[in-house]
Chain A
């Protein structure tokens, strides 16, 4: 399914969903999002800061969306810069210093896809220079930086959106709405994991660039699996719990990739929410069998959000029983049918689960998130809810690493509660 088809279905299916009280006020206006002609007339001009692999991934999606133009590309690594400009058909202006890009006046917003340690400084500089900002997750490398970014948005009033694309994924939105309606009951436990089986390395073409290219493997640049992968799933868990974790404990180590890296190649965490429920999280890069998943559990059922399935603790009513209930409600005294054509004697019932969302969309939410960011710029509408989601997810991920390093239970610090 192409992005256009995907998008059309998203717009049809989620117009009511996001227009409701649950999420509506936090999202771009879906009706406007649908209006290509109007959007073309109000083209949003963006600059890309960081055109490495993630930046290129975002640009691939942006190039599919009418009404967004990439007018500037910045990277301090020449091959990435060249590739980024090439992806705009050579039209974008090239920069190797983001501060020079921020001097431009014909840009509405910037997209920041740099290593983690640069998120805060570039985001804050961009906001203060008057730009709307989309910054990749995780929000920042320390809780203090996260808070500084949050405050910079408050001071400037500009849009600050962090790249948690699941918040724009129709399957997730549908699941959030079902959970919010109580279809699983009170959420008592969430289990999430992200397993890969590779060294997480990128090819280094020149000596001396190991740390810049493989920045994810070193503490000066990165917080490893917790921020690169875990923050996505912690954000989902927080949104479902309408809370943030109050305490965390866990373990982590390098138990397989002994290749000079510094960050853990496996992490295993337990987060506790204020109602005593928990998020049990683990991530590893030495086995990919189980892939990645978020399992949401309550007394009425379980949802697997990546698989897009819901498993009820209670099976669907038997057809005959449904008819009986309907008859009682309408004061009808008809027989309960039994043993008819559809009846299979003595057959065990297996719960195979139901699909949360009936349409299989190729987009994981990234393109819709890019389109949403552009629309937020057109409407000049910041979402504090989405920013708080990113803020608490990032700090929870960072506290996870602190708990591992200290070997202690770490409590969410008072000074970082918004």
Chain B
């Protein structure tokens, strides 16, 4: 059995790749192609690079049609689709909004109410004909944080398929995992979602074959065992942050869907319409009682 491991920094986090049954040269070629694709995507979508295409769009698109690349156009179209699907829970157009309590306390309630009115993906117009984008709110800023890694993982998946790789496991910061084929010693890839307060306590094991699992959380437990909300999960419809300890995991054959909907369901477990096609998909939340014991709640 020839297992190859590679990793590198990308999209603001760490990508780990485990390739099964490939030789060293093939693994190097795979990682070269993946890095190349992800570097290009990062240049389009990064909000940390001031010269990325998205950063430039965020600066120029208010009341002005801005022609964009096919990659960025598809990304914004995707944001609009999921905004509609989740009844406004997935809103990538509120980068300036930091939630009711404010990530660092800088935003007052008044600031946020002004931002609520003048931001949001609902104020973004796309033009299929000339692949242009226009913002109709002066505080619209698209944040790729909620969907960028999903798009990147889709590109990774495409590379692996085009290279004929059957079995592999790719992890993006351990919050988004793509499991291609199966584990070398089993019929699937077993991925355990653990409780955050109990070390090595498995809340649920997902059995993945050609699927992705994304897990979103509201914070982390520090070294003293105290839960620390990250204050970056908030309901874009109200501006209220979600500060209770909780994770939501979403399993799908589409890593973009997995990433976007794990965050959306963390905000509102009832946000999906009844007609949503759940075949081949799973979603579950890990919540905690007063004694910090976990309870697993199936969502789909």
Contacts and interface: CB of A to CB of B under 8 A. Distances in A.
Nearest to B225: A341
Interface string A315-351: 1011011001101110111111111110111111101
Contacts of B249: 339
Contacts of A338: 174, 177, 191-194, 213, 215
Interface in B180-195: 183-186, 189-195
A345 B190 contact: no
Contacts of B169: 324, 336
Given A314-B8, A349-B173, A335 B221 contact: no
Interface string A345-365: 111110100000000000000
Contacts of B185: 327-328, 331-333
Contacts of B7: 314-315, 317, 321
Nearest to B12: A348
Interface in B199-243: 199-203, 205, 213, 215-217, 219-221, 230, 232
A331 B183 CA distance: 10
Contacts of A344: 220, 230
Contact of B16 (A321, A329, A337, A339): A321
Given A315-B8, A339-B247, A348-B13, A325 B173 contact: no
B72 interface: no
A346 B173 contact: yes
A333 B192 contact: no
Contacts of B194: 337-341, 343
B217 A321 contact: no
Contact of B174 (A314, A320, A331): A320
Nearest to A324: B18
A314 B230 CA distance: 27
A318 B12 contact: no
B191 A318 contact: no
A71 B9 CA distance: 59
Interface string B2-33: 01011111001110101010000000000000
B196 interface: yes
Contacts of A314: 6-9
B275 interface: no
A86 interface: no
Contacts of A340: 194-196, 199-201
A317 B199 contact: no
Contacts of A345: 175, 215-217, 219-220, 230, 247
A321 B286 CA distance: 22
- Count class of interface residues, chain A: 20 to 34
B16 A317 contact: yes
Contact of B190 (A335, A339, A343): A335
B49 to A, nearest CB: 13
A313 interface: yes
Kindly name the residue among A313, A324, A332 whose own CB sees the greatest number of chain B CB atoms within 10 A: A324
A333 B3 contact: no
B102 interface: no
A340 B249 CA distance: 13
A324 B177 CA distance: 13
Nearest to B189: A336
A335 B202 contact: yes
A341 B197 contact: yes
A321 B18 contact: yes
Kindly name the residue among A336, A349, A351 whose own CB sees the greatest number of chain B CB atoms within 10 A: A336
Kindly name the residue among A313, A318, A334, A338 whose own CB sees the greatest number of chain B CB atoms within 10 A: A338
B189 A339 contact: no
Kindly name the residue among B8, B171, B189 whose own CB sees the greatest number of chain A CB atoms within 10 A: B171
Given A315-B7, A318-B174, A336 B192 contact: yes
18 contacts: A324-B169, A327-B185, A332-B185, A333-B190, A334-B190, A335-B205, A337-B192, A337-B202, A339-B175, A339-B196, A339-B217, A339-B286, A340-B195, A341-B196, A343-B174, A345-B215, A346-B13, A346-B175
Interface of A: 313-315, 317-318, 320-321, 324-325, 327-329, 331-341, 343-349, 351
Interface of B: 1, 3, 5-9, 12-14, 16, 18, 20, 145, 169, 171, 173-175, 177, 183-186, 189-203, 205, 213, 215-217, 219-221, 230, 232, 247, 249, 286
